[in-house]
Structure 1
Amino acid sequence: MTREERRRVRGVMLCHFVASLAALGMPPFFATLLSEEFGSSQLHLVGWLYVLPTVCSALAAPWWGRFADRFGARRSLIRAQIGLALGFGLASQAGSVGGFALALVVQGLLGGTFAASNTWLAGELEGERLARALTAMQASARAALVVAPILFGALMGAISPLTLYAWLALLPLTAAALVATFPAPGASRSGAGTADAATGKACPTSGDTGERVNPGLLLWLQFGFSFACVVTYPYFIADLQARFAGLSTVTLAALFSLPHLVYLACSAPLGKALAGYRPRHLLTLAFAAMALACWAQYALPGGGWQAQAGIWLARLAMGLAMTTAFVALHRLMSDASRQRAGRLFGRLDAAAKWAGVTAGLGAGLLASRYGLATPLLASAWVLAALGLSLVPGLTRLHSSLSPRKRT
Structure 2
Amino acid sequence: MTAAHCASAFAALGLPPYLPRLLPELGDPDARWAGLLYVLPTLCTALAAPVWGRLADRHGPKPLLVRAQFGLAVAFGLAAIAQNMTSLVIALIAQGLLGGTYSASTAYLAAGLRGPRLAGALALMQGSARTALAGAPVLAGLLSTMLDVREMYGMAALLPLAAAVATLILPAPTGGGRSVRAAAEPTTARAGITVAGMCLAEGGFVLVTVITFPYFLPLAHQIAPGLAPVLIGLLFAAPHLCYLLACAFTLRWLRGRARAGLTAGYALAAASAAVHLFVAPGSGALAWLVVGRLVLGAALALGLPSLSLLATEAATGRRPGKLFGTVEAASKSGAVLAGVTASALAGFGPAAPLAIPVVVGLALAAAVAGFTRPAPGPLIAPTS
Same fold (TM over 0.5): yes
| Structure 1 residue aligned with 2:352 | 374
1:98-147 deviations in whole A, cap 9, x for unaligned?
11111111111011000000000111211111112111111111212222
| Structure 1 residue aligned with 2:2 | 13
* Larger deviation, residues 383-392 vs 147-156: 147-156
Q: Given the alignment of the two structures, is residue 383 of structure 1 paired with residue 361 of structure 2, yes or no?
A: yes
Contact 1:290 1:318 in 2 (8 A): yes
Q: Given the alignment of the two structures, is residue 154 of structure 1 paired with residue 142 of structure 2, yes or no?
A: yes
- Cα distance in 1 for partners of 2:222, 2:6 equals 35
Q: Given the alignment of the two structures, is residue 33 of structure 1 paired with residue 12 of structure 2, yes or no?
A: no
- Cα distance in 1 for partners of 2:26, 2:50 equals 34
Contact 1:118 1:345 in 2 (8 A): yes
- Cα distance in 2 for partners of 1:244, 1:157 equals 26
- Cα distance in 2 for partners of 1:161, 1:75 equals 31
Contact 1:211 1:279 in 2 (8 A): no
| Structure 2 residue aligned with 1:359 | 338
1:39-61 deviations in whole A, cap 9, x for unaligned?
64131121122111111111101
- Cα distance in 1 for partners of 2:16, 2:251 equals 31
- Cα distance in 2 for partners of 1:154, 1:253 equals 13
Aligned partner of residue 391 in structure 1, secondary structure: helix
Q: Given the alignment of the two structures, is residue 251 of structure 1 paired with residue 231 of structure 2, yes or no?
A: yes
Query: Relative to 1, partners in 2 of residues 1:85 and 1:390: Cα closer, same or farther, differing over 3 Å?
Result: same
1:150-194 deviations in whole A, cap 9, x for unaligned?
323333333333233233222222221221222210246589xxx
Normalised by the size of structure 2, how large is the TM-score?
0.88
Look up the equivalent residue of 2:23 and give its one-letter code. Answer: L
Query: Relative to 1, partners in 2 of residues 1:158 and 1:247: Cα closer, same or farther, differing over 3 Å?
Result: closer
| Structure 1 residue aligned with 2:124 | 136
* Residue number among 187, 204, 222 corresponding to 2:202 in the alignment: 222
Contact 1:211 1:280 in 2 (8 A): no
Q: Given the alignment of the two structures, is residue 281 of structure 1 paired with residue 260 of structure 2, yes or no?
A: yes
Aligned partner of residue 103 in structure 1, secondary structure: helix
Query: Relative to 1, partners in 2 of residues 1:45 and 1:130: Cα closer, same or farther, differing over 3 Å?
Result: same
CA drift of 1:246 comes to: 5.1
Look up the equivalent residue of 1:259 and give its one-letter code. Answer: P
- Cα distance in 2 for partners of 1:248, 1:168 equals 28
| Structure 2 residue aligned with 1:341 | 320
1:297-344 deviations in whole A, cap 9, x for unaligned?
323333122x43233123212211221110111100011113211111
CA drift of 1:20 comes to: 0.8
Unaligned runs of 5+ in 2: 180-188
Kindly report which structure 2 residues correspond to 1:190-229, keeping only aligned pairs within 5 A, or say none. 212-229=192-209
Contact 1:123 1:186 in 2 (8 A): yes
Kindly report which structure 2 residues correspond to 1:8-407, keeping only aligned pairs within 5 A, or say none. 12-35=1-24, 37-38=25-26, 40-187=28-175, 212-245=192-225, 247-272=227-252, 274-305=253-284, 307-338=285-316, 339-369=318-348, 371-392=349-370
Look up the equivalent residue of 1:384 and give its one-letter code. Answer: L
- Cα distance in 1 for partners of 2:369, 2:167 equals 41
Query: Relative to 1, partners in 2 of residues 1:154 and 1:256: Cα closer, same or farther, differing over 3 Å?
Result: closer
Unaligned runs of 5+ in 1: 1-11, 192-207
Aligned partner of residue 167 in structure 2, secondary structure: helix
* Larger deviation, residues 244-253 vs 124-133: 244-253
Query: Relative to 1, partners in 2 of residues 1:287 and 1:102: Cα closer, same or farther, differing over 3 Å?
Result: same
Look up the equivalent residue of 1:271 and give its one-letter code. Answer: L
Contact 2:61 2:108 in 1 (8 A): yes
Query: Displaced runs of 4+ in structure 1, greater than 6 A?
Result: 404-407
CA drift of 1:276 comes to: 4.1
- Cα distance in 2 for partners of 1:49, 1:242 equals 26
CA drift of 1:31 comes to: 1.8
CA drift of 1:229 comes to: 0.7
- Cα distance in 2 for partners of 1:174, 1:249 equals 32
- Cα distance in 2 for partners of 1:319, 1:60 equals 30
Look up the equivalent residue of 2:170 and give its one-letter code. Answer: F
- Cα distance in 2 for partners of 1:239, 1:144 equals 22
CA drift of 1:79 comes to: 0.8
- Cα distance in 2 for partners of 1:243, 1:190 equals 51
User: How many equivalent pairs are there?
Assistant: 370
Normalised by the size of structure 1, how large is the TM-score?
0.83
Aligned partner of residue 302 in structure 1, secondary structure: coil
1:185-223 deviations in whole A, cap 9, x for unaligned?
0246589xxxxxxxxxxxxxxxx9x88212211111111
